C-alpha cells in the first residue's frame, strides 16, 4: 500500500491508502492458502532446512580434515564414505578428540538423511492421493518436489489468466524496459517464489541433460526436447535451462487448467535446425 500513502505515515493516511488500493481493479487479490497447502509447504521448508544443515556439516567435515592435511574428493556421498573410513581406521593419525567429533558429525548427517527420506515418503503419499500432482509429475523435468511445491504455492491455477501470467508470477519471464517505439527485454525478472523457481530451473537442467544423452537419433526425442536443444545451440546452456523452465511452468499451468494428461507430442513448433 506504500505507493498510495500521501504525505507522512499515519493511521488516517494508511486507511486512505488501503481504500484507494481496494478501488483499483488492476490490483489482484492474493488467494488465501488452505490448511492443506500450508501444511504441504511446511514439509518443503523443513526439508530445505535439513538439506542446508546437511551441506554445512559436510563442509565442516571437509574443512576439519583439510586442516589435518587430508583432502576429501568432491561429491557428498563420496565424502561421507571417505570420512567414515578415516574415522574407523585406527591407523589414521587423527587425535582421539577429533575422531570423536567427526563421528558425531557423521551421525548427525546420517540422522538428517534418514529424516529427509521419511519426509519425502510422506510427500509421496500425499502426491499419490492428489490427481493434479500425479498429472504434473508426468511432465519431463517435474518430479515429486516440484509438483508438490507448486501445488502448495499455487493451489488453483484458474487465478492466473494464462500460462504466461503463471510463468511471470514465478519469475521466469524477462524484465521489460521499453519507451516509445523501443522495446527492450532483459534478463529474467526473478519475481515470485524463489524456491519454486529454483526447483523448476533444476528440473529443466535435468531434462536438458537427459535430452543431450538421447540426442542420437534426434527423432527419438520429444518436440519439447528438440526445441530445448536448439535453444541451447543458439543461446547457451544456462539460457536454455531458464527457457525450458519457462516452458515447464506453462505446461504445468495447461495440464492443471484443462485437467488432462501431459502429451509429449504437443510442444513448441518444429523449425529447421540451427
Residue 213 lies in a domain: yes
Quick one: 191 and 267 in the same domain?
Answer: yes
Residue 25 lies in a domain: no
Give residue 268's pLDDT.
Answer: 60
Quick one: 144 and 200 in the same domain?
Answer: yes
Neighbours of 99 (CB within 10 A): 16
Quick one: 104 and 198 in the same domain?
Answer: no
Please give the backbone phi and psi of residue 182, each rounded to the nearest 5 degrees, phi first. Answer: -100, 125
Please give the backbone phi and psi of residue 186, each rounded to the nearest 5 degrees, phi first. Answer: -105, -145
Which residues in the chain show pLDDT less than 50? 270-274
Q: Angle CA(174)–CA(153)–CA(147) in degrees, nearest 5?
A: 90
Q: What's the whole-model pTM score?
A: 0.84
Quick one: 155 and 82 in the same domain?
Answer: no
Quick one: 111 and 142 in the same domain?
Answer: no
Count, residues in the chain? 274
User: Which residue, 65, 94, 129, sits at the end of a domain?
Assistant: 129
C-alpha cell at 81: 564414505
Give residue 234's pLDDT.
Answer: 93
User: Which residue, 94, 129, 164, sits at the end of a domain?
Assistant: 129
Give residue 78's pLDDT.
Answer: 92
Quick one: 146 and 121 in the same domain?
Answer: no
Neighbours of 20 (CB within 10 A): 15
Number of domains in the chain: 2
User: Which residue, 96, 111, 129, sits at the end of a domain?
Assistant: 129
Quick one: 100 and 141 in the same domain?
Answer: no
Quick one: 152 and 101 in the same domain?
Answer: no
Give residue 272's pLDDT.
Answer: 38
| Cα gap 45→142, rounded to integer Å | 18
Quick one: 116 and 199 in the same domain?
Answer: no
Residue 16 lies in a domain: no
Q: Which structural domain range is residue 224 located in?
A: 137-274
Q: Mind listing the pLDDT tens digit for each residue in 55-86?
A: 999 999 999 999 988 888 888 999 999 999 98
Residue 22 lies in a domain: no
> SS3 of 186, please?
strand
Quick one: 207 and 162 in the same domain?
Answer: yes
Quick one: 116 and 198 in the same domain?
Answer: no
Residue 196 lies in a domain: yes
Amino acid at each position: 500500500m506504500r505507493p498510495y500513502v500521501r504525505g507522512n505515515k499515519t493511521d488516517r493516511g494508511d486507511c486512505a491508502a488501503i481504500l484507494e488500493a481496494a478501488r483499483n481493479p488492476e490490483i489482484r487479490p492474493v488467494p488465501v492458502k488452505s490448511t492443506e497447502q500450508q501444511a504441504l509447504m511446511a514439509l518443503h521448508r523443513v526439508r530445505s532446512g535439513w538439506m542446508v544443515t546437511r551441506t554445512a556439516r559436510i563442509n565442516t567435515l571437509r574443512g576439519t580434515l583439510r586442516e589435518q592435511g587430508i583432502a576429501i574428493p568432491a561429491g557428498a556421498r563420496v565424502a561421507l564414505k571417505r570420512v567414515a573410513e578415516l574415522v574407523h581406521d585406527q591407523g589414521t593419525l587423527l587425535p582421539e578428540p577429533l575422531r570423536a567429533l567427526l563421528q558425531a558429525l557423521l551421525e548427525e548427517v546420517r540422522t538428517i538423511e534418514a529424516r529427509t527420506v521419511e519426509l519425502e515418503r510422506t510427500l509421496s503419499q500425499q502426491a499419490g492421493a492428489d490427481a493434479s500432482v500425479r498429472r504434473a509429475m508426468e511432465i519431463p523435468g517435474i518430479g515429486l518436489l516440484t509438483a508438490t511445491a507448486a501445488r502448495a504455492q499455487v493451489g488453483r491455477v484458474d487465478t492466473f489468466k494464462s500460462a504466461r501470467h503463471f510463468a511471470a508470477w514465478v519469475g521466469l519471464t524477462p524484465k521489460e524496459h521499453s519507451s516509445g517505439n523501443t522495446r527492450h527485454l532483459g534478463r529474467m525478472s526473478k519475481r515470485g517464489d524463489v524456491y519454486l523457481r529454483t526447483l523448476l530451473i533444476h528440473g529443466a537442467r535435468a531434462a536438458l541433460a537427459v535430452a543431450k544423452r538421447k540426442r542420437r537419433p534426434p527423432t527419438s526425442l520429444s518436440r519439447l526436447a528438440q526445441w530445448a536443444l536448439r535453444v541451447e545451440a543458439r543461446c547457451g546452456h544456462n539460457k536454455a535451462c531458464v527457457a525450458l523452465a519457462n516452458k515447464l511452468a506453462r505446461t504445468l499451468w495447461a495440464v492443471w487448467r484443462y485437467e488432462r494428461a501431459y502429451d509429449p507430442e504437443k510442444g513448441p513448433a518444429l523449425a529447421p535446425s540451427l
